[in-house]
Amino acid sequence: MADDNELERLSDIAVPAPDGEAKARAFAAAMTAFDWQEKISTAPQGTAAGLRLTERAQMLWREIMQRKLIATPAITALVALPIAGYAAFEMLKEQPPVIGGNGKVTETVADKPAAQKPAPNQPVINEPLATAPAKEKKADADSERRDEAQVEPASPPKPVTEVDGLVKQEMMPEALPAPAPAETAGGKAAASNGAVRMGFSAPGDAAKLKRAPGAVADSKLMVQPVPMPDQMQPQEENRDRIQTFKTNPVHEAAQDPVSTFSIDVDTASYSFVRRSLKEGILPDPDTVRVEEMINYFPYDWKRPDSAATPFNSTVTVMPTPWNGRTKLMHVAIKGFDVKPAEQPKANLVFLIDVSGSMDEPDKLPLLKSAFRLLVSKLKADDTVSIVTYAGNAGTVLMPTKAAEKEKILSAIDNLEPGGSTAGEAGIKEAYKLAQQSFVKDGVNRVMLATDGDFNVGQTDDDDLKQLIEKERKTGVFLSVFGFGRGNLNDQMMQTIAQNGNGTAAYIDTLAEAEKVLVEDASSTLFTIAKDVKIQVEFNPAKVSEYRLVGYETRALKREDFNNDRVDAGDIGSGHSVTAIYEITPKGSGAEQVDPLRYGQAKVDNGGVANADEYAFVKIRYKLPNEDVSKLITTPVTAANEVSSFDEAGSDQRFSVAVAAFGQKLRDEDQTANFGYDRILEIANAARGADPFGYRAEFLSLVRLASSLGTNK
């Protein structure tokens, strides 16, 4: 009762008179709103339209509440009610609902300036006005989209819908009743030009959604920038084309004693593997070409004495670290290193892919930086030309002496991506320019830099192979440098490089560009021998079985060895080439193939010559300007053998560690039980001199693979 009496006394108290200062501030705010209404905007094209009456009323309300224009609660009530009524009246007057004969509820948008469309991929957020102070521009954009919305009945949609990379949800305030079934069953707002779509899966779903703190009663729409789940993100299509191949099998020496292959000095595979591992992914086995991983590293093999004999071979037989009953026959070749003062003049044509797909940081921008490094390496009287191709080919720079470095660098810097990929036209134009500036007894080379397929003109690998074979007869060689991923055609790169008397490298970092084009520039540019082939004949009296580690894509027929018309790999100045065979000594008990019961080929020492040899190694090559091959032979005997693996040189042991790593990444049977820790141990012990840190990086890659792999 005491409380009732107290309430009665309070009801008799008169309302205080309005404060004069507060009245003045309220009047000023009202006049400001009036001025906004009367002002005619002269904003330039592209500027958002001025606030409409609805926004002005809402902004006035926000100003009053934020600046505390009303001194007392009583005056707050007196002022708030008229403003709220004014806002509701203006909303109904400005946007009267129109009910069509089909039952659709449509908001009128006639005579309203067209809303400015948001920029692509730019988040658009609709917020309740009470939760977004000082965001007038955002409120205006939100209101424009609500003006365009169209609500129509339809089948129940899902609770969330993706629009422009955002998850949109219809948020119904708890204070409001659930919409009628006719509205919520469809529950969908549709509009053109970026209008929002949303709805509920069933009537009553709105009641389950919580209102954002501070939401006002008329807020019916919430758009929240929720990160999309991985399965809903658009996945970039991977169109890399990698040549598939099967691992070399084990051969019986008695049945198939001869192995023939083309040498390979490409290094692209190692860069593929490194990029994958550094991104936390084990590489695709088909990207792992073991010989390219081995030959990525410089080795200090014994060098030839003169350019007359362009390379020297060293053969070592040692125990196999992953199989105690087999041996490794390690064949190392070192090319003659041309001194800088003796290097011939170079005529280079940069053939650069500037198609639209090259517009990524690890493609054209990296390519520009890479070729800038190469230009700095050239001598003043060398010549550089630049051909680009996209939808068609064009000459950017006619043959120019390297002494005009700034002119060449400017042409490189001005390259811009765009268009399709007319690689065939580019190749023809590049060879044409190379012929115009041909240097007799010099280096004439097209240097193709691309990220992927040719999709205009000749696009088939065989057709491109024939084109390259025809052009190489002119004495102009071709090398290929791959950039980026997702569109990389490694298969095409390998094909045209092998048939263009050149090399294929993959450049994924500026450090790799420096290695290929600066540190290894001599071996990349200056060929000392071409069409180099290796043939090994194993002695069945000493060797039961053998297998070649790597070189699967370089295999040749036995009769190809003596056929000078058959193309093979090239060796550049100072190049190192390594080949490793795993052999099973006769009688070791490690044979994988059962002997024949009937008709077994018997190979005894009954007067057979050279029965004490493990094998006979033959190497064929041509000098760069000659078409007739020369032959180098090396018998492999016990004199080439070391009794323990640790007795082999550090370069031999390190290269074997790389070979083991490559085989393990390919998941080959021979190294299945050979752990990454053992590979790491061998490589670390044989690290030796490492001035550029390549071997240290290899150790890091082994650790990464160990952490990612299931087979330790």
pLDDT at 128 over 60: no
pLDDT at 566 over 70: yes
Question: Among 256-270, 467-481, 647-661, where is mean pLDDT lowest?
Answer: 467-481
pLDDT of amino acid 434: 93
pLDDT at 529 over 60: yes
pLDDT at 648 over 90: yes
pLDDT at 228 over 60: no
Query: If you classify domain 340-525 with CATH, what class do you get?
Result: alpha beta
pLDDT band at 148 (very low <50, low <70, confident <90, very high): very low
Which is higher by pLDDT, 393 or 165? 393
pLDDT band at 333 (very low <50, low <70, confident <90, very high): very high
The winner for highest mean pLDDT among 86-95, 172-181, 404-413 is: 404-413
pLDDT at 224 over 50: no
Chain segment 451-476, per-residue pLDDT in tens: 876 554 445 667 777 878 888 888 89
pLDDT of amino acid 1: 52
Q: Where are the beta strands (DSSP E) in 424-556?
A: 443-450, 477-483, 504-507, 527-538, 543-549
pLDDT band at 12 (very low <50, low <70, confident <90, very high): low
Query: 73 to each of 16, 26, 264, 653, how far by Cα in Å?
Result: 10, 15, 88, 88
Percent of the chain with pLDDT over 90: 42
Q: Where are the beta strands (DSSP E) in 565-660?
A: 569-572, 576-585, 615-622, 630-636
Go through the chain and tell me how many residues it has. 712
Bridge pairing between strands 504-507 and 477-483: parallel
- Indicate the average pLDDT of the chain: 75
pLDDT at 257 over 90: yes
Query: 472 to each of 439, 475, 476, 495, how far by Cα in Å?
Result: 15, 5, 5, 13
pLDDT of amino acid 521: 82
pLDDT at 105 over 60: no
pLDDT band at 490 (very low <50, low <70, confident <90, very high): confident
Query: 146 to each of 121, 140, 204, 322, 568, how far by Cα in Å?
Result: 20, 10, 22, 71, 69
pLDDT of amino acid 212: 39
* Average pLDDT rounded to a whole number, residues 406-427: 84
pLDDT band at 300 (very low <50, low <70, confident <90, very high): very high
Under a CB-based contact definition with an 8 Å cutoff, are residues 383 and 348 in contact? yes
Which is higher by pLDDT, 191 or 451? 451
pLDDT of amino acid 313: 92
CA dist., res. 235 & res. 218, Å (int) = 39
Question: Among 47-61, 101-115, 333-347, 539-553, where is mean pLDDT lowest?
Answer: 101-115
Amino acid at 623: L
pLDDT at 652 over 70: yes
- Fold type of domain 251-338+528-591+610-708: Immunoglobulin-like (2.60.40)
* Average pLDDT rounded to a whole number, residues 25-36: 72
Amino acid at 55: E
Q: Where are the domains of the chain?
A: 251-338+528-591+610-708, 340-525
Question: Among 51-55, 463-467, 511-515, where is mean pLDDT lowest?
Answer: 51-55
Under a CB-based contact definition with an 8 Å cutoff, are residues 71 and 22 in contact? yes
pLDDT at 168 over 60: no
pLDDT of amino acid 598: 67
pLDDT band at 231 (very low <50, low <70, confident <90, very high): very low
pLDDT at 100 over 80: no
Question: Among 144-153, 282-291, 662-671, 674-683, where is mean pLDDT lowest?
Answer: 144-153
Which is higher by pLDDT, 285 or 62? 285
Question: Among 245-249, 252-256, 446-450, 451-455, where is mean pLDDT lowest?
Answer: 451-455
pLDDT of amino acid 597: 63
Bridge pairing between strands 527-538 and 323-335: unpaired
* Average pLDDT rounded to a whole number, residues 286-293: 95
Under a CB-based contact definition with an 8 Å cutoff, are residues 564 and 628 in contact? yes
pLDDT at 136 over 50: no
pLDDT of amino acid 107: 41
pLDDT of amino acid 59: 62
pLDDT at 352 over 90: yes
251-338+528-591+610-708 and 340-525 share one fold: no
Amino acid at 333: I
pLDDT of amino acid 152: 45
Task: Label residues 254-263 b or e (16+ Cβ within 10 Å = b).
Answer: beebebbbbb
* Average pLDDT rounded to a whole number, residues 527-541: 93
pLDDT at 87 over 50: yes
Residues forming a β-bridge with 489: 241
pLDDT of amino acid 515: 93
The winner for highest mean pLDDT among 1-5, 178-182, 482-486 is: 482-486
Which is higher by pLDDT, 249 or 344? 249
Percent of the chain with pLDDT over 70: 63
Question: Among 20-24, 320-324, 641-645, where is mean pLDDT lowest?
Answer: 20-24
Question: Among 62-76, 464-478, 553-567, 575-589, where is mean pLDDT lowest?
Answer: 62-76
Bridge pairing between strands 477-483 and 383-389: unpaired
Q: Where are the beta strands (DSSP E) in 484-587?
A: 504-507, 527-538, 543-549, 569-572, 576-585
pLDDT of amino acid 49: 46
CA dist., res. 368 & res. 40, Å (int) = 52
pLDDT at 162 over 50: no
pLDDT band at 52 (very low <50, low <70, confident <90, very high): low
Where does residue 575 fall: left (phi above 0), alpha (psi -120 to 50 degrees), or beta otherwise? Answer: beta
Chain segment 584-643, per-residue pLDDT in tens: 998 888 877 777 666 555 555 455 677 889 999 999 999 988 889 999 999 999 999 999
